[in-house]
Structure 1
Amino acid sequence: MHSLALLLPDFSLILLGAVLRRRLVDNEAFWAGVEKLVYFVLFPALLFNALATANIDPAHALPLFLGGLGVVIVGFLAGWLGRGLMGLDAMGFASRLQCAYRFNTYIGIAIAGKLHAAAGVALMGGLCGAMVPFVNVMAVGMLARHGQGSLLRELSRNPLVLATLSGLVFNLLGLELPAPMVAFLKRLGDAAVALGLLAVGAALRWGNIGGRWTGSAWLVGVKLLLLPAIAWQLGRALGLTGMTFDILVLFAALPTASSAYILAMRMGGDGPGVAWLISATTVLAVPTLSLWLMLL
């Protein structure tokens, strides 16, 4: 019950975003603007501030990074094993495969902050930011094989990658942000979480999924059940404890990111099928995340 109560405020924002999109503000351009604001300005500010001001311990950060990378790779391979269940062409499969390993950073940051305050935000932000290049390489690489688009271009202009690298470099150089700048970035970061979760809710889509239900169920199961279990074992094997162990398991248990839909549409893929999977993993993450939080 406590774990569900922990998730309730954040998933209530997602629900509110869905209600607002359908009942009050149904303007597509408005929500597209909100997503752009969060993705290109607010969330990069949050990541940069968290990493630039964090106390980064390489002894803890490296095993966490290796665990996160292992989770992403297992998600890719497990999703690939379900190809025969999906009944899709190559482009449709490439579009949906990313739903097995991509993660919703907004939800991750929100939950990490509830569990471990600013230290949790920095650790989850660093892990998510470090994994963004890898998931983009996998997703863009697969889609580029069957569609259109450039892997290097996608990576070089990704604001989360740029913010993560900038924050880490700033931190490792021992630089310090002026107090007014820290306050400014913190306010942007506070807005990022709330608006990001509202945008997640507004982006929920239910329609004709296409393909076979067995394939969709496989991808949802991989993302919400298999990967957290793998993360649990990886975390123990790597000697992670306390906050770092919590962050790794929660990272693996996150629903699929809405950026999977944006990428699929941008590269000529199966947008509706990806949108359905994002919606399904987001809704089903309420009970599954509650389960993993309870176990933690």
Structure 2
Amino acid sequence: MAVMVEALVPIFGLIMLGYLFRRWQFPGEGFWPLAERFTYYALFPAMLIYKLGSAELAPSAYLEIAVLILAMLAAMTALLVIVRLIWSWSGPVYSSVFQGAARFNSYVALAAAGLLLGDAGLSLMAIAVAVMVPLLNLLCIVMFALTADQGPIRFKPVLKAIVTNPLIIGSVVGVVWSFFRIGFHPILAGMLEPLSNLALPLGLMTVGAGLQLRALRGASMPFVVAAVAKLVAFPLLTLGLALLLGVSGLMLQVAILLAALPTASSSYILARQLGGDAPLMAAIISGQTLLATVTVPLLLGLLW
């Protein structure tokens, strides 16, 4: 447990450092949106290509993790349907709870996997992210269409955003690179490696810079339900499914870590664009990120 805490503290420390820098307007108010864009479109794809391209994973690993992720999403969706039946929240409120309970922060996922599980864990997490991101986006869009009452939702722009997602592109390129054992020329490796090293710390600080702690003043029952579902129920469901499917070892650790992490910062953008409760979504994102500093070490210590 002590070793795990020591590995996770820097992650959440960098998140809070980003929050403080943004609050102090350092190095400037316009810096952090640009830093997030640079990280998303350049640094993380470079890291995924380099790390995945250098990995040597068994072909069966791809199918195994895909099956587990499909089972995780199906089980969590079923749980959230039950939540809908218990609490008759409006469409916008429920959509924020759904996103808060089902989605995860890719930056934190990759950083935590790299620090806790090494390059092998990072490679598996990258594959999990590449599988889960498009599925979650489609699932959330369908949920909005069914509950938000905002008229017909256009799927074409959403599908385009998924296909052009830099994290998915980087993961696919990395997997292909690894599968065909292409390798990296020293010059190319000399460029990708420093970019890869820069991705995680800057990515985590941009997560912190995006926190809206003032939104927590309006925390309510939907906030509590989303937090408990994401930070407690999802990892427990994942453990049960993994044991049922016979998944163990490093892949089990990656799946539980993925399920235990706070929801994605991009959930706020989707809530604004598709008629969700954006203030509630901001509270869920910020609150889960803070709560995860306690729940993640505890759960990983118990379930790993």
Length-normalised TM-score, structure 2: 0.88
Q: Answer yes or no: is 1:215 the counterpart of 2:231.
A: no
Deviation at 1:292, TM superposition (A): 1.9
Deviation at 1:23, TM superposition (A): 2.0
Residues 85, 215 of structure 1: 8 Å contact kept: no
Deviation at 1:238, TM superposition (A): 2.3
Point out the more displaced range, 200-209 or 145-154. Answer: 145-154
Equivalence for 1:124 = 125
2: distance between equivalents of 1:252 and 1:281? 13
Deviation at 1:27, TM superposition (A): 5.0
Q: What do residues 101-154 of structure 1 show as CA deviations (whole Å, max 9, x unaligned)?
A: 111121122221222211111111111122111011112333356445433222
Change in Cα spacing, 1:28 to 1:262, as seen in structure 2 (3 Å) is farther
**Uncovered stretches (5+) of structure 1, i.e. residues with no partner:** none
Deviation at 1:173, TM superposition (A): 3.2
Q: Answer yes or no: is 1:272 the counterpart of 2:279.
A: yes
1:11-50 paired onto structure 2 within 5 Å: 11-25=12-26, 27-50=28-51
Q: Aligned AA for 1:74?
A: A
Q: Aligned AA for 1:219?
A: A
Change in Cα spacing, 1:244 to 1:11, as seen in structure 2 (3 Å) is same
Equivalence for 1:100 = 101
Q: What is the Cα-based RMSD across aligned positions, in Å?
A: 2.3
2: distance between equivalents of 1:238 and 1:182? 38
Equivalence for 1:162 = 169
1: distance between equivalents of 2:61 and 2:185? 27
Q: Aligned AA for 2:11?
A: D
Residues 149, 267 of structure 1: 8 Å contact kept: no
2: distance between equivalents of 1:5 and 1:208? 29
Q: Answer yes or no: is 1:183 the counterpart of 2:194.
A: no
2: distance between equivalents of 1:9 and 1:182? 26
- In the comparison of the two structures, how many residue pairs are matched? 296
Deviation at 1:183, TM superposition (A): 2.9
Point out the more displaced range, 170-179 or 121-130. Answer: 170-179
**Uncovered stretches (5+) of structure 2, i.e. residues with no partner:** none
Q: Aligned AA for 2:92?
A: M
Equivalence for 2:297 = 290
Length-normalised TM-score, structure 1: 0.90
Change in Cα spacing, 1:166 to 1:254, as seen in structure 2 (3 Å) is same
2: distance between equivalents of 1:155 and 1:227? 24
Deviation at 1:242, TM superposition (A): 2.1
Equivalence for 2:113 = 112
Deviation at 1:208, TM superposition (A): 4.8
Equivalence for 1:138 = 139
